[in-house]
Amino acid sequence: MPPGGSVWAPAPGAELLNEAALRQRYSAVVRADITVSGSSGDVVYAGSSDGRIWVSFDGGQTFPVPPWQAAGPVERIFVDAAEPRVALAALGGEKGPHVLRTTNSGSFWDPLDGNLPDAPAHGVTAERAAGAVYVATDKGVFFARVDLENASRPDSVVWASLSDRLPAAAATDVRLDPAGVQLYAALDGHGVYAAAAPHRLRNLRIVNAADFSTRAAAPGSLLSVIGGRINAARGGNLNYPVLAASDAESQIQVPFEAVGPNVALAFETNAGRVTLTQPVQPVSPAIFVGHDGAPWLYDADSGLPIDARNTAHSNGRVQIMATGLGKVRPDWPTGLAAPLEDPPVVAASIRAFLDGSPVEVSRATLAPGYIGFYLIEVQLPAVINAGVSELHIGAGGQESNRVQIVIEP
């Protein structure tokens, strides 16, 4: 699939980080109008409205190195979490350069514009290991393969537009999720959109199918292999059934007989065999969320999805779609949909928490009619005030991702 072929979907719940307090603090230290900052550990980058970029090595207490002078206002700074010497800056000036890179903690910044349209840039994000950079500009969202370890000629960078299937609007920001699987773009007047990150189409990566994280798998759970079509999968002398496959993503189920702590998974692809290591533990709970971050929660009485328009209610029953809950009783074959009547029961003890307080779990089974899905039903407590609460589940000392649920009295 070409870089512009990703399928975008609205992501109404996404939010951008608020850096107002940090900007105010750093502005006082450097005595300039700081418009944006980025950090990893004690390394802090701060950019100003007049195009200067400062670097601190003590958490922003001091900025000892003279600032680098860029060509336009600094609107976003990306800092690599594992290698803070690597950072990118998006510049909002009418004339280039619009994207800068440093691989030596800001001692030198080199432009990455290449064939990028000469338009203000407002956001930038990257994954260093894959050499993937995304930028949001007035002309849309763009993607390029870039060496993020060493300096290189700026004219060697080739940018591809990702906006063919997006509304015709200026892009105000772009982000990757922590696993580097989902790409989010904010469009002026249209909100936030999400799509599979194009750079994954060339680099296979295993993620949890429920929350796109790199958490360990568990017997019976679902995994997504991002970046290619999987024809067959095998690990630890067991077949891992391929449930769905496309050129962008494939989904497999972990056999109920699988054991860890690590499994070497051999994938048969159209390009040959690829082997990746996947951690496996007895349980690894995860609540399913959509590409927009909305959890898969359902009203147990009506069967309708729970969201901002159809909220949960005090003393109501909520069904949670999850994976990673491990073995069931009686045993169930891998790759076979759970029965509609009397589905197998989860062997592990399942707990659920609402705003940190335990709530009653009335049942935990394989989800009837599904493969690799588990269904947990919880009884909500009496709620006096309407509002948003945090929900998560636990099993065997392992906790799931946190999701939000709107509950009314």
Q: Name the strand (E) or helix (H) holding 213.
A: none
Q: Name the strand (E) or helix (H) holding 29.
A: helix 20-30
270 lies in the same domain as 182: no
Residue-wise pLDDT for 171-218, tens only, equals 999 999 887 888 999 999 998 998 878 887 667 889 999 998 999 999
Q: How many residues does the chain have?
A: 409
55 lies in the same domain as 143: yes
Of 199, 229, 255, which residue is a domain's last?
199
CA atoms of 372 and 388, how far apart (whole Å): 29
108 lies in the same domain as 82: yes
Q: Could you give the number of structural domains in the chain?
A: 3
Residue-wise pLDDT for 112-160, tens only, equals 998 999 999 999 999 998 889 999 999 999 999 888 987 666 557 889 9
Residue 228 domain boundaries: 205-279
List, in sequence order, the alpha helices (H) in 124-266.
none
- Strands of the sheet containing 222-226, edge to edge, are 205-208, 222-226, 249-253, 242-245
The domain spanning residue 234 has which CATH number? Answer: 2.60.40.10
403 lies in the same domain as 260: no
The domain spanning residue 180 has which CATH number? Answer: 2.130.10.10
40 lies in the same domain as 116: yes
The domain spanning residue 371 has which CATH number? Answer: 2.60.40
Of 175, 199, 223, which residue is a domain's last?
199
* Cβ neighbours for 342, distance < 8 A, ≥ 6 positions apart: none
Of 199, 232, 258, which residue is a domain's last?
199
54 lies in the same domain as 182: yes
pTM for the full predicted model: 0.65
CA atoms of 402 and 179, how far apart (whole Å): 16
